[in-house]
Structure 1
């Protein structure tokens, strides 16, 4: 009779341990879901989920150009050949928050100073993934500042709960440091499960506003969706934002497809000094949940914006386009439409009155 040896179990134990570790990490990064009864009377909440005002198609899990690899697995054929030019920041880079200044941190993350308030928008410093595997939605460039080196933050503003906009590790780090968190409906439950006190959180539905020491922040419509796993799609809201302070009116698109909502918002507010608009991650597989760059420029015109600053590009290869395609198209289209478009580097202090484009994204060694 043959003996049964336990050595195969010993060989498998590291794999099982790794699976357990990643499983725990994944679970901790999803966050808690809200009580659905809170939203039952909202016109844009039906059958247990938030919905777009304008119809948006279901989003496939794999972009059309990523056949066989999966849409969010590392593929270096889309990334820059070298590091993009960047201004490195730390706490000493910031003094008192100014009337208006903007620091792009890459993709859709930014520090916005308005009316003497410092607002951190959609802060993501690691890969846009629920687990720390370097092949899943990896960055192709580090952020210009680490979460540990952030200056004092008066408010953290979140547009929606996707991993490239809402990072659990950063929320946990800022839970006892940031003075306030302003989020769309339902996202507060995720934040509380990561340690943010409920009294620090302000939830906004579309059309709701919050006051931040003289700065008014209003959540407006966007055409997108939410999810941190396959079973929680549209259980929390997504939003764009209008920020008003120090005599300026700004628009932050968050993630959105192109639609009539831009003209509606432009008419409602009478135009904007600057519109920060997403230009990348569009793919033919999801034509109404992200914008192609030509649509982003048209959105700025619909909003009545005096100038446009592109965001949601330069860090992740989500739409499976070469990294420079979207910015090239946005710049070309804006020039044709006579729309001023400013392209600051990551970490660069941006003020529209003194900014001049230097074409850094066109450098041949990066393509």
Structure 2
């Protein structure tokens, strides 16, 4: 049984790469957790540091933004699925089933209860187009609301997301602005948000704070090339916009300061 008291607060922690942990009471939601990097090395190169292990325990649920192997760690997700639900955008459920993962599918904008938390997939944009479905996840509880944006590039849905689901206390945004040249995708256009674009996305979303994810772990020229001076540029852009910038390291807590907020009504299943 999930326990949750009125005095509980939402707790946030950045995991490795794009991974984020959200806790409320006994309920724990992991978004895009990653442990196994060896399959990534032929394209992304060797990681600059080892990733912290991801604990699997009762009350742990998982959300997947998309199926690129740096966001969908099949081995890890299979292990975590024994402890709680695995949430995905509905079109991804068949592929997960083929991998032996029984996922809980959700349509865009459709909320679901996981204990005291509410999770909702919203629009995102992948650089590979329609052959690579991707979503962002809105997670809310205890009067706080965050959004995890996967490894999106710039798109025009920020304002609609803000109108439908915002404002946000923290927006977790990719910042490495990577130039990728593989699999027939070879253009000099960043395929994830640059540091400055990430801050502008946070501003459009109505976020109070922006936390940088998806950076300074892989850099493998000429196939996968990150932006230079990411942390400095992100902090500078956030200061210019009047936003709080979080550059939390692997496994570090992400501060959350929020006042009371009324949670949206939910008409979905309870985990």
TM range (shorter): 0.7 to 0.9
Cα contact 1:257–1:287 (8 A) shared by 2: no
Task: Look up the match of 1:333.
Answer: 237
Q: How big is the shift at 1:116?
A: 4.4
Distance 1:194 1:307 in 2: 36
- Give the secondary structure class of the aligned counterpart of 2:84: coil
- Give the secondary structure class of the aligned counterpart of 1:341: strand
Cα contact 2:28–2:60 (8 A) shared by 1: yes
Task: Look up the match of 1:268.
Answer: 164
Q: 5+ residue gaps in structure 1?
A: 1-95, 227-232, 354-367
Q: Does 1:188 align with 2:93?
A: yes
Q: 5+ residue gaps in structure 2?
A: 181-186, 258-271
Distance 1:300 1:288 in 2: 18
Alpha carbons of 1:195 and 1:240: their partners in 2 closer, same or farther (altered >3 Å)? same
Q: How big is the shift at 1:335?
A: 1.1
Alpha carbons of 1:234 and 1:259: their partners in 2 closer, same or farther (altered >3 Å)? closer
- Give the secondary structure class of the aligned counterpart of 2:96: helix
Cα contact 2:126–2:153 (8 A) shared by 1: yes
Structure having the higher helix fraction is 1
Which one of 226, 239, 254 corresponds to residue 150 of structure 2?
254
Structure 2 counterparts to residues 148-159 of structure 1, below 5 A: 149-159=55-65
Task: Look up the match of 1:356.
Answer: none
Q: How big is the shift at 1:207?
A: 1.6
Q: Does 1:119 align with 2:29?
A: yes
Cα contact 2:174–2:212 (8 A) shared by 1: yes
Distance 1:253 1:286 in 2: 22
Q: Does 1:101 align with 2:11?
A: yes
Alpha carbons of 1:214 and 1:153: their partners in 2 closer, same or farther (altered >3 Å)? closer
Distance 2:59 2:72 in 1: 16
Q: How big is the shift at 1:282?
A: 3.0
1:260-285 per-position Cα deviation (integer Å, ceiling 9, x unaligned): 21122112234111111111143393
Alpha carbons of 1:257 and 1:136: their partners in 2 closer, same or farther (altered >3 Å)? closer
- Give the secondary structure class of the aligned counterpart of 1:335: helix
Q: How big is the shift at 1:328?
A: 1.6
Give the RMSD, CA atoms, in angstroms.
2.7
Which one of 205, 225, 242 corresponds to residue 320 of structure 1?
225
Structure having the higher strand fraction is 2
Cα contact 2:118–2:140 (8 A) shared by 1: yes
Distance 1:153 1:107 in 2: 23
Is the radius of gyration larger for structure 1 or structure 2?
A: 1
| Residue-pair matches, total | 243
Task: Look up the match of 2:254.
Answer: 350
Alpha carbons of 1:261 and 1:286: their partners in 2 closer, same or farther (altered >3 Å)? farther
Distance 1:348 1:214 in 2: 23
Distance 2:121 2:194 in 1: 23
